[in-house]
Amino acid sequence: MDEKSQIGARLRIAVPIRLRGMTHEHKFFDETSKTLCIGESSAITRLQSLVDLDSEIHLTNLSNKATANFRVVWINKVGREGWHDLGLELVETEGNLWGKKLSKTKGTDEPSSVDADLQCQRCHQVQHTPVPEAEAEFVSEGFTIARPCEKCKATTAWTLTIPHAEASAAKAKTIEEQRREGRAPIKMKIKVISDKLGQKLEEICETVNVSRGGTCFRTTGHYQLGEQISVILPYKEGDIAIPVPGRVVRYSGTKESNYRSVGVKLERDKR
């Protein structure tokens, strides 16, 4: 059995949750958040608090009040918009935590796997290895994971090597340049529909440009890379239109402005 099958399939589902535990400074935290991916024995979510690897977190599913204890398997120590992505491994639970059969859940897609160059922070050896505990969108600068080290004869912290981080940045630039091909600077109204901690939110924005497979719009709202949203483009008040699913592939802004640019890849073929 390979590592991916051992970790189990995960699905991209936003479930409102409550997380409690201790920070890396040994202070108690109690936060509400949402899942980014869930599995039978794993979850990927985000926290404003920075926690230690191998620490234990108590999770409550706010939809059905089911609870479970999880262990922190990996965390990104470099926060994005004030949030730290982290991967959790189930320790114990009572009943069906998610309240659904993941294999029968529709409207989600199985995340992509990733290989990475990881360096043990104790002995400094480097390994190019699969990372089934996470997905490509989460493995970036600041990614730190707890893994057994044969040389150290212990579980140690592993981080991305600098060459891998540089290669990831170069690859992202190439993808971005490809996405620019065929982009037209068209301004039109767009309706954006998102799920924030279990609440459906809608906002009307203006596009910066539009391409065959995506669009970019300006907003004062907050979005996460990889976040699943739906859009109506073009949007006209009073018209009946079916939202098109999409995923946030770029999120940028400046300190001088409250507006941010959000790049979305549309998934028309998945409707």
pLDDT, one tens digit per residue, over 141-160 is: 789 999 999 999 999 999 98
Under DSSP, is residue 269 helix (H, G, I), strand (E, B) or coil?
A: helix
pLDDT at res. 151: 92
pLDDT at res. 212: 76
pLDDT at res. 5: 35
Q: Which fold has domain 189-270?
A: Thrombin, subunit H (2.40.10)
Q: Which fold has domain 1-176?
A: Thrombin, subunit H (2.40.10)
The strand pairing partners of 69, in sequence order, are 58, 92
DSSP the chain: --HHHHH--EE----EEEEEEE-TTS-EEEEEEE-SEEESSEEEEEESS---TT-EEEEEETTT--EEEEEEEEEESS-BTTBEEEEEEEEEESS-SSSS-GGG--S--PPPP-EEEEEETTT--EEEEE-TTS-GGG-STTEEEEEEETTTTEEEEEEE-HHHHHHHHHHHHHHHHHHHTT-B----EEEEEEEETTEEEEEEEEEEEEETTEEEEEESS---TT-EEEEESS--TT---PPEEEEEEEEEE-TT-S-EEEEEEE-GGG-
Inter-residue contact 244 to 229 (CB < 8 Å) = no
pLDDT at res. 107: 40
In the chain, ranges of CATH 2.40.10.220 domains: 1-176, 189-270
- What is the length of the chain? 271
pLDDT at res. 251: 81
Say how far apart CA 215 and CA 22 lie, in whole Å. 40
Q: Residue 127, Cβ neighbours under 10 Å: how many?
A: 14
Alpha-helical runs (H) found in 129-226: 162-180
pLDDT at res. 115: 79
Say how far apart CA 228 and CA 212 lie, in whole Å. 19
pLDDT at res. 172: 47
pLDDT at res. 95: 72
Q: Is the dihedral angle over the CA atoms 90, 92, 97, 103 positive or is it negative? A: positive
pLDDT at res. 6: 39
Say how far apart CA 74 and CA 193 lie, in whole Å. 30
pLDDT at res. 174: 46
**Low-confidence stretches of the chain (pLDDT beneath 70):** 1-9, 100-113, 162-183, 253-256, 268-271
pLDDT at res. 161: 78
Inter-residue contact 146 to 54 (CB < 8 Å) = yes
Inter-residue contact 216 to 264 (CB < 8 Å) = yes
